Amino acid sequence: MVTKKFHLRNTTEALQLFGQQDEHLRGIEERFGVQIFGRGEVLSIRGAPRKVEQALETLHTMRDRLVTPASRPVQLYPLPVEGEEGKVKGGTAAASHPSREGSGDVVYTTITGKAIRPQTPHQHQYVKAIQTHDMVIAIGPAGTGKTFLAVACGLAALKTGRVTRIVLTRPVVEAGEKLGFLPGDFYEKVNPYLKPLYDAFYGMLGPERFRLWRDEETVEIVPLAYMRGRTLDDAFIILDEAQNTTPEQMKMFLTRLGIGSQTVITGDITQIDLEDKRLSGLVQLPDILMGIPDITFVRFAEEDVVRHGLVKQIIRAYEAWEKQQG
H helices of the chain, in order, are 11-18, 23-32, 49-66, 121-132, 146-159, 186-205, 207-215, 247-254, 281-289, 309-324
204 in a structural domain: yes
Question: Average pLDDT of 219-232?
Answer: 87
42, 101: one domain: no
Highest mean pLDDT among 243-247, 299-303, 306-310: 243-247
DSSP 225: G
170, 257: one domain: yes
17 in a structural domain: yes
Taking alpha carbons only, the member of 239, 274, 22 closest to residue 151 is 239
57, 127: one domain: no
CATH number where 318 lies: 3.40.50.300
- Kindly tell me the sign of the dihedral angle through the C-alpha atoms of 230, 297, 155, 247: positive
Question: Average pLDDT of 299-308?
Answer: 80
Question: Average pLDDT of 240-262?
Answer: 93
58, 151: one domain: no
End residue of a domain, out of 66, 81, 114: 66
137, 56: one domain: no
Q: Is the pLDDT of residue 238 over 90?
A: yes
pTM of the shown model: 0.64
Beta strand 42-47 with 2-7 is antiparallel
73 in a structural domain: no
189, 261: one domain: yes
157 in a structural domain: yes
162, 262: one domain: yes
Q: How confident is the model at residue 99 (pLDDT cuts 50, 70, 90)?
A: very low
43, 142: one domain: no
- CA-to-CA distance for 194 and 144, rounded, in angstroms? 19
Mean pLDDT of the residues in the chain: 80
171, 290: one domain: yes
Give the pLDDT score at 187: 54
Return the biggest CA–CA distance within the chain: 75
Question: Average pLDDT of 312-317?
Answer: 78
- pLDDT tens sequence across 119-135: 899 999 999 999 999 99
The count of domains in the chain is: 2
319 in a structural domain: yes
Q: What percent of the chain has pLDDT over 90?
A: 30
32, 145: one domain: no
Give the pLDDT score at 282: 94
Give the pLDDT score at 139: 95
18 Cβ partners below 8 Å, 6+ apart? 24, 25
204, 288: one domain: yes
Q: Which domain holds residue 154?
A: 94-324
Task: Concatenate the DSSP letters of all residues of 75-124 into one string.
Answer: --SSPPPTTTSS---SS--GGG-GGG--STT--EE-TTSPEE---SHHHH
Q: How confident is the model at residue 318 (pLDDT cuts 50, 70, 90)?
A: confident
Q: Give 251 or 65, the one with higher predicted confidence.
A: 251
CB contact at 8 A, 294 and 94: yes
Give the pLDDT score at 73: 45
276 in a structural domain: yes
Give the pLDDT score at 191: 65
CB atoms within 10 A of CB 11: 9
CB contact at 8 A, 173 and 273: yes
Q: How confident is the model at residue 326 (pLDDT cuts 50, 70, 90)?
A: low
173 in a structural domain: yes
Q: How far is CA 3 from CA 42, 51, 113, 183, 212, in A?
A: 12, 11, 22, 37, 13
84 in a structural domain: no
Q: Is the pLDDT of residue 88 over 80?
A: no
Q: Give 295 or 209, the one with higher predicted confidence.
A: 295
296, 152: one domain: yes
Q: How confident is the model at residue 104 (pLDDT cuts 50, 70, 90)?
A: low
- pLDDT tens sequence across 150-209: 999 999 998 888 899 999 998 876 443 345 544 555 555 566 667 777 788 888 988 888
